[in-house]
Amino acid sequence: MITALIAEDEAPQRQELRAMLAELWPELTVIAECEDGLEALEAWTARTPDIAFLDIRMPGLSGLEVARQAPEAAQVVFVTAYDEFAVKAFEAGAVDYLLKPIRADRLAETVTRLRARRTAPKIDMAALAEALSGQLAPKRAISWITASLGDVVKMIAIDDVVCFQSEDKYTRVVTASESAHIRTPLKDLAEQLDPEIFWRVHRNAIVRVAAIRQVKPDEDGRLQAWLKSVAEPVRISDAFRYRFKAM
Amino acid sequence: MASLDDDLRTRLPRGVLSDLGGWTLYQSFRTFTWPWLLRRGILFWPLALFAGSAFAAYHASSMGVWSDWPPLAWRACLAGLLTVTTGPALATLVRHLRPPVFLERVLVIAAIGLGLWIGLVAITWASHYHDHLMEAYTDRSMKVGVFAKAFSQVLRTSIDTSVFVWVFAGGGLATIYYLGERRRLTQYATQRQLETLRAERSAADTRLAVLQAQVEPHFLFNTLASVRSLITSEPARAAQTIDALADYLRAALPRLREDRVEDATLERQIDLCVGYLDLMRVRMAGRLSVRVEADAAVRASPFPPLILLTLVENAVTHGVEPKPGPGEIAILAQLDGDTLTVTVEDDGAGLTPGITPGLGLANVRAQLQSLFGYRAGLDVSSRPEGGVSARIHVPVAS
């Protein structure tokens, strides 16, 4: 018995694909119909289908992420409304990709292709990871920090941030007018911030270079950075002292 | 675009002036035209009168015969006035007769030549009169004071360069300037044309960007796929989807062609969003409800495109869609003095603390900043009852 999984967030489209498959490939048994990415991953794990039809844009996990995280190999057919992922999907080892609306004659070709293949090709994790990083989490500097301000969660534009400071298990996000908290460690933040704009000055502080008003030693000769619109100075550790030699 | 045969009395556009042009009154007009001649005269006539009077004063003071001053002065002044005026006046007459270009150039050069010659004759005539006066004092030596001596030095210097002074005063430089005028005008016209084309292109680029964002291919094809699958199973819903899509496209497409982007009102943006939400409601099988609160005065306020749609799309894709069960999206707008506040609220999945790429929101922020600077703002925060509230405030000219 050949089994298949269909993941598509819109019910009518899911049912239509199922109906078309039933007509074109009566021997195929659809063992799971999923509404979103997480459900698809669970069904894939639990029932190990031979073939997976995955919509790329779905709530929860995208089709690409489902394929990447799947524990068992299956022949994957990606379905998308617009061929932004097509090439990458193929490079990642997908058997085929279908453009919405799905046409019966095109689906027949896919069925022929699936029937011709005996074994499921291994999904190329590296290519898929690249497809994911390129398309779903674009390689650009982060633009927002979603942080907690008491009971409220608020999006803070990265352009407004003056500095980040470690505080126990939190990271404090300081802007000219407020300060909020995130759980993301400073180390992870540092990797994603533009190093031209934000400088690490201490094990527990990253500051916006343009916001530095003054750098001077305190009574003990330790260097401190005074920031615009922030009352307290930020310690500069000896390891990062060299960055301020020219200032 | 400035035509080359423009009115001869109007000022030239700034871009046509040469590097040195513009600091005097007359050079902002076309060379050899009546307004040019008058303004040039205001500068040159006093100079001619001063030169004539000074020459006579020099003679009178050094000979000690002040009765010689009036007859010599008026002759020298007349010679000076003729020199600076005749050629340019004749050339101006030629230009205002509007002969063909080539003929005009020839006649203008001839006019300046004639003017220079007449000026030379007048100067010679005045200097002959001076010689005639001097004959009476053949035996007398000149009594030249320190000031007069200095003045004499100045005169000698200018006599050394007299050909230059004569040609300059008689309109020689103006002729060169005149000959280049057509070329400068053409250059200016080309420049202007290029600028217009560039502006049109950037306006077209903006329109295209708006169109692309409003009719996003993924959204369009997904809707078509949705309709296709509904045709057999639920024909009534298929029809509803098509109606909603048609309404949405009507709101998104034709206005773009007819209107300038900057004429966008909040009303149109709300219509567009409601069209989008209607479509999503049909596609999400009634899971979505929509509420709009904005009175007529608020709706008439100007509001840039794409901003509201981005917030509404976010509310659907990040708020209502990922959360199972029914969801509501509200668009609330109110005017408070000269501030327009527009809020998009949802009761969906809410915000997850951490790092967010948020390209759409970053575009909204950038657009607000470029349009209104710091007078506008965007606030995105969680709501106590769950979901997200995205609030924009922009200044409104009262």
For the stretch B213-234, what's the b/e string if a residue is b when 16 or more beta carbons lie within 10 angstroms of its beta carbon?
bbeeeebebbbbbbbbbbeeeb
Kindly determine whether residue A59 and residue B221, on different chains, have CB atoms separated by under 8 Å: no
Q: Determine the Cα angle at B307 with ends B303 and B309, to 5°.
A: 110
The segment with the largest mean pLDDT, out of A190-204, B133-147, B193-207, is A190-204
Which among A21, A97, A136, A153 is the top mutation candidate for probing chain B, defined by the most B β-carbons within 10 Å of its own β-carbon?
A: A153
Same domain, B80 and B226: no
Is it the case that residue B23 has pLDDT exceeding 60? no
Last residue of one domain, picked from the residues A109, A135, A161: A135
User: Is B3 inside a domain boundary?
Assistant: no
Last residue of one domain, picked from the residues B195, B227, B244: B195
* pLDDT, average across residues B144-151: 68
Same domain, A40 and A113: yes
ipTM of the complex as predicted:
0.73
Per-residue pLDDT reduced to its tens digit, B242-267? 999 998 888 887 555 555 655 678 99
Same domain, B165 and B246: no
Same domain, A102 and A214: no
User: Is B205 inside a domain boundary?
Assistant: no
A143 touches chain B (CB under 8 A): yes
Percent share of chain B, pLDDT over 70: 86
Is it the case that residue B192 has pLDDT exceeding 90? no
Last residue of one domain, picked from the residues A76, A106, A135: A135
Q: Which helix (H) or strand (E) is A114 found in, with range?
A: helix A104-116
Kindly determine whether residue A82 and residue B361, on different chains, have CB atoms separated by under 8 Å: no
* Contacting residues for B202 by C-beta, under 8 A, at least 6 apart: none
Distance from CA of B389 to the nearest CA of A (A): 10
Number of domains comprising chain A: 2
Same domain, A155 and A205: yes
The amino acid at residue A195 is: P
Report whether A204 contacts A193 (CB < 8 A): no
Same domain, B244 and B311: yes
Instruction: Give the mean pLDDT per block of 10 residues along chain A (247 residues).
Output: 91 92 93 91 92 86 83 86 69 79 92 80 63 52 83 91 91 91 88 87 91 87 87 87 72
Say what the pLDDT of residue A187 is.
Answer: 87
Please give the Cα distance from B54 to B38 (Å, whole number).
Answer: 24
User: Is B302 inside a domain boundary?
Assistant: yes
Range of the domain at A36: 2-135
Say what the pLDDT of residue B394 is.
Answer: 94
* pLDDT, average across residues B143-161: 64
User: Is B210 inside a domain boundary?
Assistant: no
A137 touches chain B (CB under 8 A): yes
Q: What is the CATH number of the domain that holds B366?
A: 3.30.565.10
Same domain, A123 and A157: no
Per-residue pLDDT reduced to its tens digit, A174-210? 998 889 999 888 888 888 888 888 999 998 999 999 9
Name which of A45-49, B99-103, B110-114, B145-149 the model is least confident about. Answer: B145-149
Q: What confidence tier does B142 reach under pLDDT thresholds 50, 70, 90?
A: low
A1 touches chain B (CB under 8 A): no
Same domain, B136 and B281: no
User: Is B42 inside a domain boundary?
Assistant: yes
Token code pair at residue B10: 């109007």
Kindly determine whether residue B361 and residue A100, on different chains, have CB atoms separated by under 8 Å: no
Task: Name which of B224, B362, B382 is nearest A101 (Cβ-Cβ).
Answer: B224
Q: What is the CATH number of the domain that holds A109?
A: 3.40.50.2300
Is it the case that residue B141 has pLDDT exceeding 70? no
B285 touches chain A (CB under 8 A): yes
* Contacting residues for A162 by C-beta, under 8 A, at least 6 apart: A174, A175, A176, A207, A208, A211, A227, A228, A229, A230
B380 touches chain A (CB under 8 A): yes
Same domain, A150 and A75: no
* Interface subset of A 7-36, CB within 8 angstroms of B: 9-13, 15-17, 36
User: Is B203 inside a domain boundary?
Assistant: no
Say what the pLDDT of residue B291 is.
Answer: 95
Please give the Cα distance from B167 to B112 (Å, whole number).
Answer: 9
Say what the pLDDT of residue B257 is.
Answer: 52
Report whether A211 contacts A234 (CB < 8 A): no
Please give the Cα distance from A152 to A142 (Å, whole number).
Answer: 21
Following CA atoms A72, A77, A83, A87 in sequence, which dihedral angle do they give, to the nearest 10 degrees? 60
- Average pLDDT value for chain A: 84
Q: What is the CATH number of the domain that holds A237?
A: 2.40.50.1020
Say what the pLDDT of residue A137 is.
Answer: 46
Say what the pLDDT of residue A172 is.
Answer: 93
User: Is B6 inside a domain boundary?
Assistant: no
Per-residue pLDDT reduced to its tens digit, B216-226? 888 889 899 99
Same domain, B263 and B179: no
Token code pair at residue B307: 């901003």
* Contacting residues for B397 by C-beta, under 8 A, at least 6 apart: B338
Same domain, B257 and B389: yes
Range of the domain at B232: 215-395
The amino acid at residue B99 is: P
pTM of the predicted model over 0.80:
no
Compare all CA atoms of chain B with the CA of A193 and give the residue at the minimum distance. Answer: B355
Last residue of one domain, picked from the residues A83, A100, A135: A135
Say what the pLDDT of residue B155 is.
Answer: 63
Last residue of one domain, picked from the residues B162, B195, B228: B195
Please give the Cα distance from A40 to A27 (Å, whole number).
Answer: 22
Say what the pLDDT of residue A92 is.
Answer: 64
Same domain, B253 and B147: no
> By CB neighbour count within 10 A (0-12 exposed, 13-18 middle, 19+ buried), where does B130 fall?
middle
